[in-house]
Structure 1
């Protein structure tokens, strides 16, 4: 494993998806949570609509975006791109398509966790800040955000750990291609296990990944425990 460049490549591509997708999901989730914190007419309908993507089976989402990102699909048509503009068969654009699909499906989960954290902020403090002339940004920065640190840590840790397991979208949309340009660590496990039958090797890699993710989760939870104390 230590001398296998394919493993390093798969880990780096997985980390790239995490570094790009998770912050985007966090920012979008935070913005939507702040929007839904102040109830508006019809918010119940839009709330249900917002949660729909994460209820869909990931394999179905992969098929949906596989069709959307075809050269003659609706995305190229609406963006005014030529019919030969490839997404899923291009070395760098294929990864962008996967990140878009992952963001579409899992931003609602981030939104749900962050909204729960925002709803726990005492409304009397927000009202007092408003009466004292604080702007929305000042109230968010000085009252809401400090009280959500624990929730933010939990949400980010959960999404980072879950993103390490991304498989369905990659398998359906690109099958790790072109070549190995979108081969994540889970996709590598699948190919080496069922394509090359190197079960012991995959178990060794999986054990190392498990230890790393456990340490990451422990760091996040220890921070949460300190904040709670």
Structure 2
């Protein structure tokens, strides 16, 4: 749900993008409380009243950025989920990990905002925003898990909700490890080369396959 109004939506695309970029930069660098609308409008060269006319409040501006970021992240993930023509669930998971890294490379400021939200307890509406992130992730993963169980690729005794929680946790920590040095845990994932990221995504996926995969089905195929 967008928190802008038609005045903002009717602006030329280039102007909209400039406003979004400067606001994203401000929240990424300073967090929510220290972010300054004055700094944003000064860099943009527009009146402070214009920004409030577009979004109402600083909170309205942030909510618009949040909604926009979630929508942007969904596109690459959906493409990754459908990238496996043979509907291999684990291939879809592997491609999702890589799509996440690609997104962070393309939108580093957005991910910095997410990390601040994740680790700063005083972040406004933190519970609301993180709940929405987790719900969006679960909505993305549920069809993969259900299809995997139905097709026999995943163990038939899996608790679907627990499997979704596990995959969400693995994917979230994988991306954090690529982005934050002290969360890497010594595995060499932080800012790793593309080749190393691909190899580590494959290694994580293989581990998940061993734990979640239907070994009986695999044995039948052998």
What TM-score, normalized to structure 1?
A: 0.29
Which protein has greater RCO, CA pairs closer than 8 Å, 6+ apart? 1
What TM-score, normalized to structure 2?
A: 0.30
